[in-house]
Amino acid sequence: MAKRYGSFEALRGVSLSIGQGEFFGLLGPNGAGKTTLISIVAGLVRATSGEVSVMGHDVVRGFRAARSALGVVPQELVFDPFFTVRETLRITSGYYGIRRNDDWIDEVLGNLDLASKAEVNMRALSGGMKRRVLVAQALVHRPPVIVLDEPTAGVDVELRQTLWQFIRRLNADGHTIVLTTHYLEEAQELCDRIAMLKHGAVVALDRTSSLLRRFAAGRLQLRLAGAPLPAVLEPLRIVEAAAAPEAAAASETARQPAGGARVGLRIDDVGEVEAILATLREAGCRVEEMELAHTDLEDVFVRVMKETR
């Protein structure tokens, strides 16, 4: 599948098959094509070439069945300010031709901790509560496939825990879940398989456990003083995903000897630690803190993004 806007390729050669009942992660930096892909699946955007189907229904030729099989939680807070929460969910049910849906609406409201807000006007809700209603709207017709596009961005810990408890239950009941998130610890904990996108192409696709094994390096976290990190160790430096746009500036700052600079180094074997410490001692570095951690999905993500073009 591909999507072009003039000469710009938003998606190029994307080919994915997500099994029924999977918990699937779709990861990538901003601009990688995740939202474009979701918009094509949801029927909001048409692919330039290729085909997309949901539960066997083509999103163009069989759009009614495809839409009914899909529930999407968008990134943006979109709501109608003239209705209460319950009225909003009843109207959404009506879009799918579902009548007398109050029993399921009550269950969704209860599981998302919205029961006390059922008769409150949407305008009066906080941002976090509005996001819960978006989740409820996506679930109100009990779709077999649920797409969550950054569902916990900017929300409190309570909502994240409540949401994932409910989504896990739906997944256990057979619902397919597709998740995009910048919280990589969520993806690592929740997703069975993961696809990573970069510049509109899939650059990694595997089971989460396999990705972690493939990049089975550890992390040596240090706080150094007395001298900058030796240049010979610079290739081992781990650049945090959140700090990638400022990687060059951060690298230069961390090399300065003042005040105990923190640095993370990638290691492929615990036996490398001794050699690293010897190199630091020879360079005049004083190790004030040291921690050895296992590879996590953030480490994998940074390496994949760095190693692919």
Decide: residue 280, CB within 10 A, 0-12 exposed, 13-18 middle, 19+ buried: buried
Cα–Cα distance, 131 to 106 (Å, whole number): 17
Q: What is the 3-state secondary structure (H, E, C) of 252-275?
A: HHHCCCCCCEEEEEEECCCCHHHH
The 10 Å Cβ neighbour count of residue 261 is 19
Cα–Cα distance, 114 to 111 (Å, whole number): 8
Q: Give the predicted TM-score (pTM) of the model.
A: 0.76
Cα–Cα distance, 203 to 94 (Å, whole number): 40
Determine the pLDDT at residue 222. 92
Decide: residue 302, CB within 10 A, 0-12 exposed, 13-18 middle, 19+ buried: buried
Cα–Cα distance, 5 to 280 (Å, whole number): 51
Determine the pLDDT at residue 78. 80
Determine the pLDDT at residue 80. 85
The 10 Å Cβ neighbour count of residue 293 is 11
Determine the pLDDT at residue 248. 40
Cα–Cα distance, 129 to 72 (Å, whole number): 17
**Looking at this protein, which amino acid is placed at residue 14?**
V
Q: Which residue segments constitute the domains of the chain, with CATH numbers given? A: 3-212 (3.40.50.300), 216-307 (3.30.70)
Determine the pLDDT at residue 234. 92
* pLDDT tens by residue, the chain, 309 residues: 999 999 999 999 999 999 999 999 999 998 899 999 999 999 999 999 999 999 999 999 999 999 999 999 988 888 888 999 999 999 999 999 998 899 999 999 998 889 999 999 999 998 888 888 999 999 999 999 999 998 887 777 877 888 899 999 999 999 999 999 988 999 999 999 999 999 999 999 999 988 888 776 678 889 999 898 999 999 988 776 544 443 344 444 444 434 468 898 988 777 788 999 999 999 999 999 998 877 789 888 988 888 876
